[in-house]
Amino acid sequence: MQEKGLLIVLSGPSGVGKGTVRKEIFSHPDTAFEYSISMTTRSPREGEVDGVDYFFKSRAEFEELIQQGKLLEYAEFVGNYYGTPVDYVRKTLDEGKDVFLEIEVKGAKQVREKFPEGLFIFLMPPSLSELKNRIVTRGTETEEIIHNRMLTAREEIEMMELYDYVVENDQVELACERVKAIVMAEHCRRVRVEHRYKKLLEVE
Ligand SMILES: Nc1nc2c(ncn2[C@@H]2O[C@H](COP(=O)(O)OP(=O)(O)O)[C@@H](O)[C@H]2O)c(=O)[nH]1
Ligand SMILES: Nc1ncnc2c1ncn2[C@@H]1O[C@H](COP(=O)(O)OP(=O)(O)O)[C@@H](O)[C@H]1O
């Protein structure tokens, strides 16, 4: 039987750099993970492409996906829905490929309940003031949204204890290296947890 892939969940407070770290990881052709493109009801930002950055949906379409049980998890984040397509995730894991989710913390909590065996990595900012700095300099949000995001950031950071690993995003390159090292180590650990080494003994 085909061994299942690893479900990798990268989460953390808004503005910490999840998207930046994820894009950097996937910009390398040797990256062996499959990125799960999320569904969202938020409007595309300039340069964003449907089916590449997100699958952009209307609220009615998104609610239909919820009704049909098509989402592994979903959450409302600053007024918009975001969710992970379940069929894609299951199919890809069944093919033995690692699936990478980059999602906010409420969604990550739901995934933990459904896939406790997943690998959960929390991206942490060097400080709260640096976090605010990043959201402000990104310049995609209004002042009111920035204020709301900072309020939720404190609650989000408290959810750190649900994760297997915490990675500080001080420098993007370093954070990416840490994430990749964690995934590599997890694969080695599972050889024992899943008793895969037994195959080796059978051959002799
Ligand atoms: N729960 C959940 N969160 C998601 C999903 N896709 C993206 N997000 C998160 O939604 C939040 C807002 O994303 P976005 O609007 O692209 O803004 P940005 O990542 O803050 O630039 C971020 O924290 C994303 O990680 C998803 O499928 N499910
Ligand atoms: N290590 C870092 N050092 C400095 N700025 C960063 C770092 N990582 C991300 N940023 C910047 O912080 C802002 C928020 O990053 P983003 O990836 O959009 O966060 P998230 O996806 O977690 O909401 C962006 O302007 C990004 O360029």
Convert the pLDDT of each residue in 101-130 to its tens digit: 999 999 999 999 999 999 999 999 999 999
Computed over every residue of the chain, the mean pLDDT equals 93
pTM of the full structure: 0.94
Atom of ligand 2 nearest to the CA of 172: 1
Average pLDDT over residues 83-94: 97
**Percent of the chain predicted with pLDDT > 90:** 73
Could you identify the atom of ligand 2 that is nearest to the CA of residue 171?
Answer: 1
Of 42-46, 64-68, 98-102, 145-149, which gets the smallest average pLDDT? 145-149
Q: Which amino acid is at 39?
A: M
Whether the predicted interface score ipTM is above 0.95: yes
Q: What's the confidence (pLDDT) of residue 203? A: 64
* 7-36+98-203 to CATH, choices 3.60.21.10, 3.30.70.150, 3.40.50.10880, 3.40.50.300: 3.40.50.300
Q: How many CB atoms lie within 10 A of CB 21?
A: 24
Nearest ligand, CA 42: 1
Choice from 82, 86, 99, 114 to test ligand 1 binding pocket (greatest atom count within 8 A of CB)? 82
Bridge-based pairing state of the strands 165-168 and 119-124: parallel
Which residue out of 7, 16, 40 has the highest number of ligand 1 atoms within 8 Å of its CB and is therefore the one to mutate? 40
**Structure confidence by residue, pLDDT tens digits, 158-179:** 999 999 999 999 999 999 999 9
Q: How far apart are CA 17 and CA 46, in angstroms?
A: 19
Ligand nearest to the CA of 18: 2
For atom 19 of ligand 1, the residue with the nearest CA is: 19
Residue with CA closest to ligand 1 atom 11: 104
How far is the C-alpha of 73 from the C-alpha of 96, rounded, in Å?
Answer: 21
Residues 131-154 as b/e (b if ≥16 CB within 10 A, e otherwise) read bbebbeeeeebeeeebeebbebbe
CA-36 nearest atom, ligand 1 = 27
Distance CA(137)–CA(131), nearest Å, equals 10
Ramachandran class of 114: left when φ > 0, alpha when ψ lies in -120 to 50, beta otherwise? alpha
Tokens representing residue 53 in the block: 């950055």
Q: Domain ranges for the chain, please list them.
A: 7-36+98-203
Q: Is the pLDDT of residue 149 over 90?
A: no
